[in-house]
Amino acid sequence: MASRAFQMSCVRGEGSSLRDLSPRPRYPSMPRYPKGVAALPASDPGTDVEALPEERRTAIFSVFGMTCSACAGSVEKTIKRLAGIYDAAVDVLNNRVQVIFYANFVSEEEIREAIEDAGFEAALIHEDSKELSTLTCRLHIKGMTCTSCSSVVESALQSIPGVQKAAVALATEEAEIRYDPKLVTVDQLMKEIDDTGFEAILITAGGDRSIIHLKLEGVHTERSMKLVESSLQALPGIEKIDMDTVNNKVSVTYKPDQTGPRNFIEVIQSTGSGSFSATIYPEGEERESHKREEIRQYYRSFLWSLLFTIPVFLTSMVFMYIPGIKDVLDTKVINMLNIGELLRWILSTPVQFIVGWRFYTGSYKALRHGSANMDVLIALGTNAAYFYSLYSVLRAATSQDYKSTDFFETSSMLISFILLGKYLEVLAKGKTSEAIAKLMDLAPETAIILTFDEHGNVINEREIDSRLIQKNDVIKVMPGAKVACDGIVLWGQSHVNESMITGEARPVGKRKGNSVIGGTINENGILHIRATHIGSESALSQIVRLVESAQMAKAPVQKLADRISKFFVPLVIILSLTTWLCWYLTGKYNGYPKSWIPSSMDIFQLALQFGISVMVIACPCALGLATPTAVMVGTGVGASQGVLIKGGQALESAHKVNCIVFDKTGTLTMGKPVVVSTKLLKNMALKEFYEYVAAAEVNSEHPLAKAIVEYAKKFKEDENYPWPEARHFLSVTGHGVKAKIGTKDLIVGNKSLMLNSNIEIPDEALELLAKAEEMSHTGILVAMNHEILGVIEISDPLKPGAQDAISILNSMNVRCIMVTGDNWGTAKAIAGAVGISTVVAEAKPEDKAQKVKELQMSGFTVAMVGDGINDSPALVSADVGMAIGAGTDVAIEAADIVLMKSNLEDVITAIDLSRKTFSRIRFNYIWALGYNIIGIPIAAGVLFPSTRLRLPPWVAGAAMAASSVSVVLWSLLLKNYKRPKALDVVRISGVMVE
């Protein structure tokens, strides 16, 4: 999978990626001097030119303050101006600079000072090391209620030195942090979050270490806990152990290539002589338990609030109109204080200060960090109602003639309705991540592990929890069972259904040496597989992590909500106070008739109700949830359709796409070319011809090269007999290869490669090439010692449904272009077959990227669909890069969207899904903004003069709670997404899609 590949860190518009600058072998007769150092004459005293290469060193600097490609260019130019710099590469994404330099000309400190002189902050991380200096951890954050909370946490994290990027998602209540482990630790990150007033729980620490949580049984004393801890600490590969004595839980951070959870459980059992035992928590169980606990807390709080609120409501709204009961409630207790007021005071107090305590703590956390959130509005509104009522009641108790009017029902009913809304909201939010749960359910619960003797014979097999599988375990997979982990087949033959991972409908044949993917189904036959990737390293886990990361990423459109949220609450408070003041002063100076004032109120109380209603009807939560909930559901639905969308940025860009650039090989075609004919122009045995050609092409990863090597194997009598050694091998990207086989100089490639190599192409060879191109085949020329030796004709059939997919895209007003490294004849024939009119052929990787940039400059929003390493620059340059799932890891890593099924119909699905998702986001914003724009004036009493309509605060609170719930529910409707009907008739993989 992608993340096990070379990590390509290019970011569009943000500088170059940090490439491997390790020195390459040069011709010995041409010594290379450092950049910035003139070639020194050999006679120059004190100069030892031959010593220069021995002093070459590598250093990596952490650089803060870079934001774009201009910053990267400034840093790179500054460094390269120094004497003794061999090369430098800037990685804006990871805030790093890798420098190769000559230590006898320049030092690390001088390089660092030069970077700082350019206006950036720099620190030396390490020298002579190629290890990645960046890790990504995920944390669950408890206590966030709206975008203000997530912004506070995000700002706090990004201010920590060593944190390169922090994304905090309100909808998932998680943070994804990319950090430099040499400058900051996970514990420090969690402490910083705790200092902001929220609770952080580690999900994954990142890097080459894993974390596992074990539930201990039989371990009850502090002594036994320490005994377990010391026993585990003695194991190799243990990084950290956290003991939770309250819950009898142990969390172990470890290196998976050295140890694993099965070892931990065995050690714990042996430590207690059988009296101790341990079980492993299910994947994600901790997060799920927190979600369930949050739901239970809101449910319990709502019930307790309801228990006290109902009597308050009845005494103030119902019983006052029932004779007999009214007389009892009006009975005076002390002076003018009656029984009804006293009961409402007693019953509303627990609601205000016990059930509603969460709003006080939330307000304190927000205000402590200079922000204001929904809790501030609720606390202000309910306190205004409660404390005015308390003042009124106390004054009635101490006065002989003051008749009080209380609003205790306002504060208690307001809290009850908001808690109900939050309960419904967390219930709905839990359903937005169901797609991830379904993906995780693909993994089997148990596995059969085999034990061998010294001769390789199976001596025992036992069933274990699949989460206890460790690297290099041998697993037995029965017919009809799921493969428990990624691995290599050691014994047996079978067919495996991989459709749930790759989308390939037909079972794939597996035999010794083939790889299998965890979660796939063994159709027939027994397989013995050796576990190679387990836990978080497995393909399934990486797909899950990709979807989780996508749900964490913010869409650019969300910046609107973030900007609004900064000013929203303070503005609402100002509007609320203005509303109260306007109504009060207008009434005080007879600005409206006394008949407008209800008989149970005075001017101050009427104004207060309007002010409180304005405060509690405003809803910042709906704005904050508008984008992330839709992105969560949209990416989850995409994953279930085999379309992995890497976040909100990709979703937002994809819905604007109006031009798609397609690669040919492996994208429009099957990508599994086969040799269909060979024509020799010199007298030579075909076996000898292919011996030379295969010896050169076996070093290439290109599909055409693999087809040639596969065909050449037919002429080998012994499969294990090696090909001749290829010396001075050179791959000319997009053209072919060069190599020296024995005493022969061999060149295998297209016509351009031959012409560039000054090789004359005979007319017969040109005719063979033209004939191949007419048949949509690819002609490969083979030259030996600068003479054309033969022509190999290769066919790569079109993918089923390619023509229909292009036709549908054209009907969607999406322009389709094909850019390929193949020759013009073949390219035009393939393009004509699928219905593409614009073709660019014989293109190098940089030409593909350049074509994408030209289209962007012409006003198009461009998507690039490709599958090869040579497509990666174009995938990164495009507004949306779409990688075919069966393509190379580098292409998948560079892309924004991965089409797991390798079907072109999924290009249409990706664009259509993004359009549907963004229409949902737009509606969410229209609803959230419209609700506030309409609701606030009504709550302020705009309609009161003409209609006498006023919103009591508890009604305003109920409306506020309903707005958040409606936004989440509207996003959840995306779960019913159906692909465009036009795709129902596209034939994919030889079957009709229903």
Indicate where the chain has its CATH 2.70.150.10 domain(s). 448-459+471-535
d(CA 65, CA 533): 37
The 3-state DSSP class for residue 7 equals coil
The band of 43, judged by pLDDT with boundaries at 50, 70 and 90, is very low
Q: Is the CB of residue 344 less than 8 Å from the CB of residue 413?
A: no
> How far is it, in rounded angstroms, from Cα 442 to Cα 544?
11
State the fold for domain 642-669+798-914. Answer: Rossmann fold (3.40.50)
pLDDT for the residue 722: 80
Res. 168: pLDDT tops 90: no
Fold of 135-205: Alpha-Beta Plaits (3.30.70)
- Summarize the chain as % helix, strand, coil (round to 5): 45, 20, 30
Distance CA 736, CA 540 (A): 35
Mean pLDDT of 880-900: 72
The predicted structure's pLDDT at residue 444: 82
532 pLDDT above the threshold of 50: yes
* CATH number belonging to domain 56-125: 3.30.70.100
Q: How confident is the model at residue 33 (pLDDT cuts 50, 70, 90)?
A: very low
Beta 277-280 vs 210-217: how paired, if at all? antiparallel
Can you say whether residue 734 is alpha, beta or left, with left for phi > 0 and alpha for psi between -120 and 50 degrees? left
Tell me the whole-structure pTM to 2 decimals: 0.62
Residue 253 — φ and ψ, nearest 5°? Answer: -100, 125
Listed in order, the ranges of the chain carrying CATH 3.40.50.1000 are 642-669+798-914
Please list, residue by residue across 955-972, b when 16 or more beta carbons sit within 10 angstroms of its beta carbon and e when fewer do.
bbbbbbbbbbbbbbebbb
Sheet holding 486-491, edge to edge: 458-465, 446-452, 474-477, 527-533, 486-491, 515-516
Bridge partners of 124, per DSSP, are 61
Write down the H helix ranges in 698-811: 703-712, 751-756, 763-774, 802-811
Interval 60-64 mean pLDDT: 82
pLDDT: which is higher, 502 or 374? 374
Count how many Cα atoms sit within 13 Å of the Cα of residue 404 in the half-sphere of its side chain: 31
CATH 3.40.1110.10: which residues of the chain? Answer: 674-795
pLDDT of 582 over the 90 cut: yes
* Residue ranges, CATH 3.30.70.100, the chain: 56-125, 135-205, 210-281
Question: Which two three-digit tokens encode residue 906?
Answer: 């999924």
Is a pLDDT exceeding 50 seen at residue 15?
Answer: no
* pLDDT tens digit sequence for 915-931: 999 888 888 888 888 88
**Residue 125's Cα: distance from chain center in Å?**
27
Question: Which range has highest mean pLDDT (221-225, 400-404, 461-465, 939-943)?
Answer: 939-943
> Which pLDDT belongs to residue 577?
92
- Class of the CATH domain delimited by 448-459+471-535: mainly beta
Round to whole Å and give the CA distance between 782 and 790.
5
Beta-carbon contacts of 25 under 8 Å, excluding residues fewer than 6 positions away, are none
- Give the C-alpha separation, 553 to 624, whole Å: 14
Residue range 858-882: average pLDDT?
83
Q: What is the mean pLDDT of the chain?
A: 79
For the domain bounded by 210-281, which CATH number is listed? Answer: 3.30.70.100
565 touches 508 (CB < 8 A):
no
How far is Cα 587 from Cα 604, in angstroms, rounded to an integer?
8
Beta-sheet pairing, 659-662 with 815-819: parallel
Task: Give the 3-state secondary structure of residue 482.
Answer: strand
293 contact partners, CB below 8 Å, separation of at least 6: none
pLDDT, one tens digit per residue, over 406-427 is: 878 888 888 888 888 778 777 7
Count of positions (residues) in the chain: 994
- Assigned CATH topology for domain 674-795: Calcium-transporting ATPase, cytoplasmic domain N (3.40.1110)
